[in-house]
Amino acid sequence: MPSLHFLQCLPFLILVILHFIFLARAQLPGTWEILVENAGIASMHTAVTRFNTVVLLDRTNIGPSRKLLRKGHCRSDRNDAVLKHDCYAHSVLLDLATNQIRPLMILTDTWCSSGQFLPNGTLLQTGGDLDGFNKIRKFDPCEPNGSCDWVELDDVALIDGRWYATNQILPDGSVIIVGGRAANTVEYFPPRKNGAVSIPFLAEAEDNQMDNLYPYVHLLPNGHLFIFANDRAVMYDYDSNKVMMKYPPLDGGPRNYPSAGSSAMLALEGDYSTAVIVVCGGAKYGAFIERSTDTPAHGSCGRIVATGPDRVWEMEDMAFGRIMGDMVMLPTGDVLVINGAQAGTQGFELASAPCLYPLLYRPDQPGGLRFMTLTPGTVPRMYHSTANLLPDGRVLVAGSNPHVFYKFEVEFPTELRVEAFSPEYLSPDRANLRPVIEGIPETVRYGEAFDVVVSVPLPVVGIVEVNLGSAPFATHSFSQGQRLVKLAVTPTAPAGDGRYKISCTAPPSGRVAPPGYYMAFAVNQGVPSVARWIHLVS
């Protein structure tokens, strides 16, 4: 039996333990904030536009959301099993300057669809379920006070219906649409004469729990595609429809939907000839078939030089097993791993043990030392959550709806809050290092030399980087079209009045950076500026 002295000291001991827990939490890098308490929808798909707005998109056949459409703009669909006359928004636009929400009108079902920005900044959105299966849509972004909205294209459609597909912009500005449920093919927008082309690799990667869905697709600087599905990958020449290289299988089991790992291509730099791919996390095989919510996820990561001669996976482990995590390329070249769960699999109500701790993956550190644990959030972000880099360097976190419809009085409710995570580079003690871009061209051409003028509170020591970050389409633990390109720069030169001039060279071709709008960040000693959008053209 505990002694009287111990019992008298117990409250103090509890306070001491709580103090150290709080101290440990407080010392972890990064901070969280709620941007919007109620966005009206749970965002299954999220994309940031060049007007510093964010498109949030759910599925249409989900019943009432918590945001009404404008008066007189209801959707009527006699085939909708839930709401045949639907006056609720299933897509909204977030203005990052004011955190205000505007409802958008989407007509056809976007459940588990795909997307990509076109060279002119238009968001292309493809596929979905039911009446959205063959559908192509566009969203032409506008100023936050504008009236831009979704447009359903009637003059063109997908040849093969696409559900759980992946989109990737190509060097010529067209978009390849890869895979999908029962669609082991690729096709293009604008459509090509050869139509939908079969890829046997996708069929070979399919198993009895469909682990070839939402394949990880990365455009390599040699112009070919790195396509990863299930536990294997190929280098694919889409022009000739040939597999140029088969990579060795990645140990650890399936990594794609529904087993829910994630992937990123690390920053392209130097002569841009080397591409390194990282694939992290996933569910153990069988968790989806067995509908297991408590099968522990694994935390293994594979890293491979996709363009190198050896092509061997280098393995390491994260601090946490994780499924449904999102990998976000930061302006510095580090990768943020955020969201997800530690057990179960993707699917409605098939995961548990939310993973609230983000991780920072530092590619330049030695193996075994690359992951740093960051400040945990408080909002579980499970199935159908997203993460996107913002122009100010924060990461927008949205969504999470592990249920068929919107449910709130449950353990893991439908999540309507939108948050932002600020990495350590935005901490107050680094404010004096943060550059401000004072001048940058709005448009640059491939291979063109141009100057960027920045100001910095403290004198610059070393070289200020200029890095271009794409605006990907984030969904289902993968950011379609995500890439970061570090430009060739000259040593920073004083330009008077506390300003500095950086001479840069634009990427050499669309293989390195496809045409389109990019967030241009100046990075001083690991601290990025607020980005300025530039248009990269041929």
> Is there a contact between 219 and 511 (Cβ–Cβ < 8 Å)?
yes
| Number of C-beta neighbours around residue 493 at 10 A | 12
pLDDT on residue 20: 38
Tell whether 101 is covered by a domain.
no
20 — phi, psi (to 5°)? Answer: -70, -35
> Is there a contact between 338 and 326 (Cβ–Cβ < 8 Å)?
yes
**Where do we find the tokens 């330049």?**
364
Residues 100 and 187: their CA atoms lie apart, in Å, by 37
Residues 466 and 489: their CA atoms lie apart, in Å, by 7
pLDDT on residue 498: 85
pLDDT on residue 8: 44
**Domain coverage including residue 513:** 434-537
Tell whether 496 is covered by a domain.
yes
> Is there a contact between 134 and 157 (Cβ–Cβ < 8 Å)?
yes
Tell whether 366 is covered by a domain.
no
By DSSP bridging, strand 532-537 and strand 443-445 are: parallel
Per-residue pLDDT of the chain (538 residues; tens, 9 = 90+): 444 443 444 443 343 333 334 434 458 999 999 999 999 999 999 999 999 999 999 999 999 999 999 998 999 999 888 999 999 999 999 999 999 999 999 999 999 999 999 999 999 999 999 999 999 999 999 999 999 999 999 999 999 999 999 999 999 999 999 999 999 999 999 999 999 999 999 999 999 999 999 999 999 999 999 999 999 999 999 999 999 999 999 999 999 999 999 999 999 999 999 999 999 999 999 999 999 999 999 999 999 999 999 899 999 999 999 999 999 999 999 999 999 999 999 999 999 999 999 999 999 999 999 999 999 999 999 999 999 999 999 999 999 999 999 999 999 999 999 999 999 999 999 999 999 999 999 999 999 999 999 999 999 999 999 999 999 999 999 999 999 999 999 998 998 888 999 999 999 999 999 999 999 999 999 999 999 999 999 9
Tell whether 450 is covered by a domain.
yes
Which residues lie closer than 8 Å to 38 by C-beta, 6 or more apart? 66, 416, 417
pLDDT on residue 12: 37
3-state secondary structure of 191: coil
299 CB-contact burial (10 Å; exposed 0-12 / middle 13-18 / buried 19+): buried
Residues 123 and 101: their CA atoms lie apart, in Å, by 18
pLDDT on residue 178: 98
CA 229 from chain centre, in angstroms, equals: 18
pLDDT on residue 26: 53
Total of domains in the chain: 1
Residue 504: give its domain's CATH number: 2.60.40.10
3-state secondary structure of 345: coil
Tell whether 172 is covered by a domain.
no
